[in-house]
């Protein structure tokens, strides 16, 4: 059965009117499971008009009311995790354990936003001048938009929406058209939590809907997560139309393994970080940089683990890695394995030859050794279950390699040497650094963001930077008349 997935505007499901739709698949079966409406510019305008009206009300709601809605939403998300995880697995393909992990990381952001009364506190300077006080407040922007990728269809919208709404904005989400259903689950949960209609809306769509948001005069800010070329486009177009934009792009995350590292620990970390969610994570490790003589033992240890990794339908609790998002993407990733082999990389494990389900968009795990920086498999973001190993003679060579890469989202170092790790943390030009931690996604009370081609704009996402992004600062300088000069009779003597 093919389900129709429509927009969520003004607190209700609204069928699309553009006449354009896109297919949604279950990647584990290869069968179409849904048909998603793709919004026209007029439909986007309708959603923004509803959001604008709702924003005017919502910004005047008390902090305790906003916080109460967030606490209620938190409970619904927590209690509904099984149901939401099934939706994520059915459309994205990730295994249920990963889907639960995604929800847990989204939940953290909702919990952070529950503390909005604390987060929005301003500063106060009494008697900045004689009889003059100065204080700062932060106010919402109005209507803000979020444009999100397929790989975390619940978590990334929550990175944005929880803080945006807590700060008093209305949020319009344009989720990935490849796995749109979880955004509808979130919309219903917001409504059940008591959020007024129009404060959270979902418009499904493609470039047409995105362009309508980027150019709409009533959209004050745009948060984007996706690939680098689109992130650049979003940033340039949104800012050219006067909007505040944070646009997180693609990645090529390295894991530097020093000769003194615990090889088993590093191999376990490499396997989970490179192949978890079939490598479709923006913080996935895609290059292991083996320094000195650790290369041989590391490659052997990773290769030994791969046959044990169970690839299958994510809904099966025994599966550890699911399929890729689409047939085209699976074929593109397989093409990279061929390209690596042709350019001289050693194919230690070939995912194309793996025994994986023939239905659906599966590909086995691939390990490429002796990869060099000019190879396509090194330069491009593959976004699949392919780990490249680059050999480096020294720490300096490894560092130079990482710092020369255009992407700078996450990086990890594996070593037992605290001094070396500390030096690396100082030297490396990457936004998020793990020390013996392969996927250093910051907890919700820090902020998430890469450097260079992994981020356009200067504000990282969620955490304190998220609160700043979704609010404008205002400073008030105030002087009150001397009470002794007041003409109002208070009925008791005035004192100073």
- In whole angstroms, what is the distance from residue 488 CA to residue 447 CA? 51
At its nearest, how many Å lie between ligand NAD and the CB of residue 80?
A: 23
Interaction pattern, residues 182-221, with ligand NAD; x per rule: CB under 6 A: ------------------------xx--x-----------
Indicate the residue among 66 and 244 with the shorter CB distance to ligand NAD. Answer: 244
At its nearest, how many Å lie between ligand NAD and the CB of residue 20?
A: 13
At its nearest, how many Å lie between ligand NAD and the CB of residue 457?
A: 12
Indicate the residue among 220 and 248 with the shorter CB distance to ligand NAD. Answer: 248
Binding residue (CB under 6 A) for ligand NAD from 251, 298, 363, 386:
251
Q: Does 39 contact ligand NAD by CB under 6 A?
A: no
3-state class of 223 per DSSP?
Answer: strand
Binding residue (CB under 6 A) for ligand NAD from 89, 182, 409, 447:
409
Q: Does 177 contact ligand NAD by CB under 6 A?
A: yes
Binding residue (CB under 6 A) for ligand NAD from 33, 40, 50, 151:
151
Binding residue (CB under 6 A) for ligand NAD from 40, 109, 176, 319:
176
Indicate the residue among 213 and 315 with the shorter CB distance to ligand NAD. Answer: 213
- In whole angstroms, what is the distance from residue 141 CA to residue 129 CA? 31
At its nearest, how many Å lie between ligand NAD and the CB of residue 137?
A: 30
Binding residue (CB under 6 A) for ligand NAD from 73, 112, 171, 383:
383
At its nearest, how many Å lie between ligand NAD and the CB of residue 443?
A: 15
Burial class of 341 by CB neighbour count within 10 A (0 to 12, 13 to 18, 19+) = middle
Phi, psi of 190 (to 5 degrees): -60, -40
Binding residue (CB under 6 A) for ligand NAD from 148, 201, 286, 366:
148
Q: Residue 432: which H helix or E strand, with range?
A: strand 432-435
Q: Does 147 contact ligand NAD by CB under 6 A?
A: yes
Indicate the residue among 409 and 415 with the shorter CB distance to ligand NAD. Answer: 409
Output the CA angle 284-288-293, nearest 5 degrees: 160
- Judged by CB under 6 A, the stretch of 23-31, 170-178, 420-428, 478-486 that binds ligand NAD is 170-178
**Residue nearest to ligand NAD as judged by C-beta position:** 226
At its nearest, how many Å lie between ligand NAD and the CB of residue 447?
A: 11
Q: Does 225 contact ligand NAD by CB under 6 A?
A: yes
Phi, psi of 251 (to 5 degrees): -155, 160
**Contact (CB, 8 A) for 7 and 294:** no
3-state class of 188 per DSSP?
Answer: helix
Indicate the residue among 140 and 457 with the shorter CB distance to ligand NAD. Answer: 457
- In whole angstroms, what is the distance from residue 324 CA to residue 387 CA? 15
Closest Cα to residue 347, out of 329, 371, 374? 371
**Contact (CB, 8 A) for 212 and 41:** yes
Indicate the residue among 96 and 455 with the shorter CB distance to ligand NAD. Answer: 455
Closest Cα to residue 154, out of 233, 218, 254, 77? 77
- In whole angstroms, what is the distance from residue 345 CA to residue 377 CA? 9
Q: Does 248 contact ligand NAD by CB under 6 A?
A: yes
- In whole angstroms, what is the distance from residue 125 CA to residue 483 CA? 20
Indicate the residue among 140 and 431 with the shorter CB distance to ligand NAD. Answer: 431
Q: Which residues, numbered 91-130, are part of the site for ligand NAD (CB under 6 A)?
A: none
- In whole angstroms, what is the distance from residue 162 CA to residue 112 CA? 8
What separation in angstroms does the CA of 82 have from each of 79, 102, 151?
8, 12, 18
Q: Does 150 contact ligand NAD by CB under 6 A?
A: yes
Catalytic residues: 282
Closest Cα to residue 112, out of 462, 432, 442? 462
At its nearest, how many Å lie between ligand NAD and the CB of residue 3?
A: 19
Q: Does 160 contact ligand NAD by CB under 6 A?
A: no
- In whole angstroms, what is the distance from residue 366 CA to residue 371 CA? 13
Query: In 152-291, where does DSSP find H-type helix?
Result: 155-166, 181-192, 207-215, 228-240, 263-275
Binding residue (CB under 6 A) for ligand NAD from 29, 139, 227, 339:
227
Total residues interacting with ligand NAD, rule: CB under 6 A? 26
**Contact (CB, 8 A) for 181 and 209:** no
Percent helix, strand and coil across the chain, each to the nearest 5: 40, 25, 35
Q: Which residue has the tokens 């009300």?
A: 57
- Judged by CB under 6 A, the stretch of 76-84, 149-157, 160-168, 386-394 that binds ligand NAD is 149-157
Binding residue (CB under 6 A) for ligand NAD from 143, 158, 282, 387:
282
Q: Counting every residue, how long is the chain?
A: 496
- In whole angstroms, what is the distance from residue 96 CA to residue 85 CA? 6
At its nearest, how many Å lie between ligand NAD and the CB of residue 187?
A: 16
Give the binding site for ligand NAD (CB under 6 A). 147-152, 174, 176-177, 206-207, 210, 225-227, 230, 248-251, 282, 381, 383, 409, 450, 454
């Amino acid at each position: 059965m093919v389900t129709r997935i429509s927009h969520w505007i003004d607190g209700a499901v609204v069928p699309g009117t553009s006449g354009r739709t896109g297919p949604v698949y279950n990647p584990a079966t290869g069968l179409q499971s849904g048909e998603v409406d793709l919004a026209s510019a007029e439909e986007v305008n309708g959603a923004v008009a509803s959001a604008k009206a709702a924003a005017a009300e919502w910004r005047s709601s008390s902090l305790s009311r906003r916080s109460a809605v967030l606490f209620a939403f938190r409970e619904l998300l927590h209690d509904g995790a099984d149901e939401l995880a099934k939706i994520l697995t059915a459309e994205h393909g990730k295994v249920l354990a990963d889907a639960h992990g995604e929800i847990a990381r989204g939940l953290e952001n909702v919990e952070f936003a529950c503390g909005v009364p604390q987060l929005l506190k301003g500063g106060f300077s009494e008697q900045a001048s004689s009889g003059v006080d100065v204080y700062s407040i932060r106010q919402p922007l109005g209507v803000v938009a979020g444009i999100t990728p397929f790989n975390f269809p619940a978590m990334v919208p929550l990175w944005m929406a929880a803080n945006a709404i807590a700060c008093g904005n209305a949020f319009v989400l344009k989720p990935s058209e490849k796995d749109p259903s979880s955004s509808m689950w979130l919309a219903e949960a917001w409504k059940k939590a008591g959020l007024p209609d129009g404060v959270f809306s979902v418009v499904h769509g493609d470039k047409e809907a995105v362009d309508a948001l980027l150019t709409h005069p009533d959209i004050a800010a745009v948060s984007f997560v996706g690939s680098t070329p689109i992130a650049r486009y979003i940033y340039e177009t949104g800012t050219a139309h006067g909007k505040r934009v944070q646009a997180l792009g693609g990645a090529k995350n390295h894991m530097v393994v020093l000769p003194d590292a615990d090889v088993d620990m590093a191999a376990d970390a490499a396997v989970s970080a490179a192949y978890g969610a079939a490598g479709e994570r923006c913080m996935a490790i895609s290059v292991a940089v083996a320094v000195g003589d650790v290369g041989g033992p590391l490659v052997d240890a990773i290769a030994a683990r791969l046959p044990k990794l169970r690839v299958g339908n994510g809904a099966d609790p025994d599966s550890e890695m699911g399929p890729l998002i689409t047939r085209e993407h699976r074929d593109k990733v397989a093409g990279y394995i061929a390209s690596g082999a042709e350019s001289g990389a050693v194919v230690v494990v070939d995912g194309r030859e793996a025994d994986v389900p023939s239905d659906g968009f599966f590909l086995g795990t691939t390990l490429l050794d002796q990869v060099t920086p000019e190879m396509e498999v090194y330069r491009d973001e593959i976004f699949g279950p392919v780990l490249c190993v680059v050999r480096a003679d020294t720490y300096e060579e490894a560092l130079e390699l990482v710092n020369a890469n255009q992407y700078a989202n996450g990086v990890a170092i594996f070593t037992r040497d605290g001094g070396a790790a500390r030096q690396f943390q100082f030297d490396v030009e990457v936004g998020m650094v793990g020390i013996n931690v392969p996927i250093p996604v910051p907890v919700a009370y820090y902020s998430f963001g890469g450097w260079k081609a992994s981020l356009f704009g200067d504000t990282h996402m969620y955490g304190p930077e998220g609160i700043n992004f979704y609010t404008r600062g205002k400073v008030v300088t105030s002087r009150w008349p001397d009470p002794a000069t007041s003409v109002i009779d208070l009925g008791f003597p005035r004192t100073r």
